[in-house]
Amino acid sequence: MDQETKRRFMERIEEKSAGLPWYVVEYIDKRKRMLSPASLLNYCHDYIIFFDWILAEGFYNGNRKDIPLHILEKLTRQQVEDFLSFLEFKLQNSDLTINRKLSALKSLFHYLQNIAETQELEPYLNRNVMAKIELNNVKEDQETIANRMEGKILRGDEYELFRQFVAHDYGEINKDNKKLFNFHQRNCERDTAIISLILGSGLRLSEIVGLDVDDIDFQKFTARVIRKGNKEQFVYFSEQAMIDLQEYIRIRSSRYELDKNFRPLFVAAPMGPKGTTRRLTARSVEKLVEKYAKAFGKPALSVHKLRHSFATRYQMENNDIPKLRRQLGHTSVQTTMIYTHLTNTELKDAVKKMDERKNDVDDE
């Protein structure tokens, strides 16, 4: 994540935390060195939902930021279970989302009970109700997750077909729509470079939008990214991605009217009365992928599914989980193991073809 993006995240974190109790603000401040800005912002959203629920339930009459510590200490296990039911049925959160929000609360309560202390060396909380609450048992093994992904990623020839669709075919099928055609003509090199880079590297959305021109090493075919936990890593990408990146770089400055010192790699067209150019946002990249995916006939495709597509292809061609784990930036090898299940279909088809060839020989 570049400094400008990080600055914007921190501004939003400060804005959100300003409406939270002082002890939550203290906790967030302590976590800045250990969590990414994106994770901290998610924590702020989760805490706002929790403390607003406390007010809605009438456990405290006043402002959210004034909720005292003793309110948390007096919460019963049943009341917390009611909050989780609120997340599930009122907000329609999935088990995974509820687990994430519950983990954020567990982390906060753990800090208040076991780490933070008053001037009298007493903990902020003597009783931690969140320690009594278990996370949801999400009953999905790796094969189940892999099967759910099936049909939502690119396979075989679809990698190049989708890339070609973004680069050329989308404009052709929209020739009669002047607005769509002109927009595609203006941005096709940029959009192709983005799609090609994800399919050729497996980079995350945040890593793609955070890239600066200086992060690309055109000699070594690597991109410098800041991964989860603020870890710097140089990630390899494909030769086709390099070709598409170079084509985009060739037209980037003139097409988007850039000052030579403007460093963000992927940019949006100038907007506003002053024609200000800016870094392409994560949501903009999501929307452009959604647009092309729908027109291509695979509306379930997303940035994350393109990342899965890369990983599936890599595992099928290389069968090297440790290297794939590093390429994707996974902290746990279990996450990477999903792709061994995703390739089962291809392996089955390969064996089937071997049998068919054997039968043909036998017939001869």
Q: Is 357 a catalytic residue?
A: no
Whether residue 195 lies inside any domain: the answer is yes
pTM score: 0.56
Q: Is 45 a catalytic residue?
A: no
Q: For 339-357, what is the mean pLDDT?
A: 53
- Collect all residues with Cβ–Cβ distance below 8 Å to 236 and sequence separation of at least 6: 201, 221, 222, 327
Q: What proportion of the chain, given as a percentage, has pLDDT over 90?
A: 48
Q: What is the pLDDT of residue 243?
A: 94
More confident residue, 240 or 329: 240
* Active-site position among 100, 110, 186, 228: 228
- 92 and 164 in a single domain? The answer is no
CA distances from 163 to 153, 197, 200, 211 (A): 13, 10, 11, 20
C-beta of residue 64 within 8 angstroms of C-beta of residue 55: yes
Q: What is the pLDDT of residue 146?
A: 47
Q: Which two tokens stand for residue 22?
A: 């002082």
With b for 16 or more beta-carbon neighbours within 10 A and e for fewer, the 247-258 pattern comes to bbeeebeeebeb
* Active-site position among 190, 252, 307, 341: 307
Whether residue 362 lies inside any domain: the answer is no
Q: Is 184 a catalytic residue?
A: no
**Residue that terminates a domain, selected from 139, 162, 185:** 139
Whether the CA torsion 289, 173, 298, 179 is positive or negative: it is positive
- 170 and 231 in a single domain? The answer is yes
CA distances from 300 to 12, 41, 151, 153, 174 (A): 30, 27, 8, 8, 21
- Tell which residue, 180, 121, 117, 61, has the closest CA to residue 191: 180
Q: What is the pLDDT of residue 64?
A: 95
Beta-ladder partners of 224: 234
- Tell which residue, 68, 10, 60, 70, has the closest CA to residue 36: 10
* Active-site position among 163, 184, 190, 204: 204
- 286 and 150 in a single domain? The answer is yes
Whether residue 327 lies inside any domain: the answer is yes
* Position 299 pLDDT exceeds 80: yes
Q: Which two tokens stand for residue 93?
A: 């959160």
**Residue that terminates a domain, selected from 116, 139, 162:** 139
- 231 and 150 in a single domain? The answer is yes
- 73 and 195 in a single domain? The answer is no
Residue 186 identity (one-letter amino acid): R
**Residue that terminates a domain, selected from 76, 105, 139:** 139
- Tell which residue, 142, 149, 201, has the closest CA to residue 326: 201
Q: Which two tokens stand for residue 133?
A: 């609450």
* Position 353 pLDDT exceeds 90: no
* Active-site position among 152, 304, 305, 323: 304
Whether residue 213 lies inside any domain: the answer is yes
Q: For 314-321, what is the mean pLDDT?
A: 75
Q: Is 111 a catalytic residue?
A: no
Whether residue 325 lies inside any domain: the answer is yes
Q: What is the pLDDT of residue 338?
A: 61
Residue 31 identity (one-letter amino acid): R
Beta-ladder partners of 236: 222
Q: For 127-147, what is the mean pLDDT?
A: 69
For residue 229, the domain's CATH number is: 1.10.443.10
| Domain that includes residue 337, residue range | 144-352
CA–CA gap between residue 224 and residue 235 (Å, rounded): 6
Whether residue 234 lies inside any domain: the answer is yes
Give the chain's count of helices (H) and strands (E).
18, 5
* Active-site position among 23, 43, 292, 339: 339
- 168 and 131 in a single domain? The answer is no
Q: Are strands 267-271 and 216-217 parallel, antiparallel or unpaired?
A: unpaired
Q: What is the pLDDT of residue 274?
A: 66
Q: For 261-284, what is the mean pLDDT?
A: 83
Q: Is 304 a catalytic residue?
A: yes
pLDDT band of residue 339 (cuts 50, 70, 90) is low
Q: Is 330 a catalytic residue?
A: yes
Q: What mean pLDDT value characterizes the chain? A: 84
* Position 63 pLDDT exceeds 60: yes
Q: What is the pLDDT of residue 139?
A: 54
* Number of domains present in the structure of the chain: 2
* Position 111 pLDDT exceeds 50: yes
* Active-site position among 101, 279, 325, 330: 330
What confidence tens digit (pLDDT) does each residue in 159-175 have?
A: 889 999 999 999 999 99
Whether the CA torsion 208, 210, 214, 217 is positive or negative: it is negative
What confidence tens digit (pLDDT) does each residue in 25-36 have?
A: 999 998 887 777
More confident residue, 355 or 215: 215
Task: Work out the burial of residue 245: count CB atoms within 10 Å of its CB; fewer than 13 is exposed, 13-18 middle, 19 or more buried.
Answer: buried
What confidence tens digit (pLDDT) does each residue in 161-211 have?
A: 999 999 999 999 999 999 999 999 999 999 999 999 999 888 989 899 999
